[in-house]
Amino acid sequence: MTTNPSSDFPIQVSSETGTLKRLLIHSPDRGLGKVVPSKAQDWLFEDIVHLDTMRRDEYDFYVKILLYFLDPEKIKGRLSEIDKDRGRSFYIPGSENYFSSDRVVEIQRLLSEILQDDQTRVKLTSAICGIERCPYHIQEELNTYDPNELAKIFISGSYSDERMLFAPVPNLIFTRDIGIVINDHILLNKPAKTARTRESILAQFVFFYHPLFAHIRKNLIEIPENERHFLLPDDEKASDFQRCTLEGGDVMMVAPNHLLIGCSERTSLYAAQQVMKILFEKNVVEKISIIKIPKKRDYMHIDTIFTQVKKNIWVLLGSLARVGDEARKKDVLHFFASTDSNKEFRILQFRKGSEQQPREIENLEDLLAEVSTEDLGSTEPVRFIYSGGNEFPYGEREQWTDSCNLLALRDGVVIGYDRNDKTLEAFRREGFNAISARDLLEKFETGELSPDNLTDTFIMLPSAELSRARGGSHCMSMPLLREF
């Protein structure tokens, strides 16, 4: 098991655009290839995906880009060799050629390492078999597998391609949702949907039992359940003031003193309130803005409607911003469309120790501009890039395929999907260079470009299959360390 001292594995995230130094990911596993149409929505997928294409032609580029920026020694000069291997051993934890980085960290690898300890293995196996209602002989069978295979089974629900033992957890590729680093603390999630319960348990065990996180165990935050939760109706029926659910896509650490929490389809007002109380009591942040968005599958989390690109630049969905009102006036279809969903949009800002009423912020653009100028000290004019160039119907179409869900590798350098053409045009109009992941990697290999001097760049990730999963590059990352 990895036993890096804590000095080699610091945990600290205080912004969305500081240079990314370490993150947690999970590559598409064999469980995604087991999703069937009749269960896709129950397992929180919009569609079934072609696993080999998703891995080889799309997600593998994401991993290579991350390694080139965060841990170049693992990949520089090796692309040809890596790409020739049809077995993809470079990407598979436990294989001889696995990249095994402590900067681009695969959660499956960490899981297999904690399973090497017999006591941890027994505890986790019992927990998984309990929630999956496995018969005792399955529990006994699981004890016969080696740690690498057992980690794969716990994630995919299947033994090799031979048989399924329980349902897959295909959403684990969205590691953002299992937890979020807030300065030097980690907030663990409470998933809204039953399909993600096993993810939550796996993450809990990794953070509490892996030695890489031993130095911050006292900084792990779990949200207390409503005291009367056992008397409440099912989560789907409980009110937003009763249920306690939170996912990482609704939490953004935008500045050392300022946290954003979204209340959405997946994160409840009750959970947001509990998190705010804990963080203020622990003096982790000084200011928390609660952003209540319409509970629609279209939006899901706040990082599906906006993310930060640079200290002074944000990408967002225009129909939920100030320009949304103007767009509706100009477009006949929008003018006659129902605006009920917009009544559900509200922003309240709370300050630690303040006895005053929370401050209400009128719209999203005002909040984000304030983050850039007041919290981050940007002296440049704040700019907004709108999904689909804010053209109807492209704003909504491209938001659905994660035009607003971008991961900043550092200030001004982001990675996102290649399919959102109108949004990419909008980025180019704002002075950004758009380059495909494949072309960028080739230029890195030849030395024509370097990750160290790249500026104002949108890296286009192949996305025909990844976009079916309803999550972008921001969702597919859990930053553990950023420079600020």
CATH of the domain at 117: 3.75.10.10
Range of the domain at 217: 6-482
Residue 325 is assigned to a structural domain of this protein: yes
pLDDT of residue 337: 43
Residue 38 is assigned to a structural domain of this protein: yes
Q: 14, 425 in Cβ contact below 8 A? A: no
Query: Is the bond preceding residue 393 a cis peptide, omega within 30 degrees?
Result: yes
At 42, give phi and psi (nearest 5°): -60, -35
Residue 276 is assigned to a structural domain of this protein: yes
Residue 402 is assigned to a structural domain of this protein: yes
Structural domains in the chain (count) = 1
pLDDT of residue 335: 37
**What is the residue-level pLDDT of the chain in tens, covering all 484 positions?**
544 545 579 999 999 999 999 999 999 999 988 888 887 777 667 788 999 999 999 999 999 999 999 999 999 999 999 999 999 999 999 999 999 999 999 999 999 999 999 999 999 999 999 999 999 999 999 999 999 999 999 999 998 777 889 989 989 999 999 999 999 999 999 887 788 899 999 999 999 999 999 999 999 999 987 755 555 566 555 666 678 899 999 999 999 999 999 999 889 999 999 999 999 999 999 999 999 998 887 888 999 999 999 999 999 999 888 876 554 444 443 434 444 444 678 999 999 998 889 999 999 999 999 999 999 999 999 999 999 999 999 999 999 999 999 999 999 999 999 999 999 999 999 999 999 999 999 999 999 999 999 999 999 999 999 998 889 999 999 999 999 8
pLDDT of residue 460: 98
Q: Alpha carbon of 432 to those of 35, 261, 300, 423, 445: distances in Å?
A: 37, 29, 28, 11, 22
Residue 1 is assigned to a structural domain of this protein: no
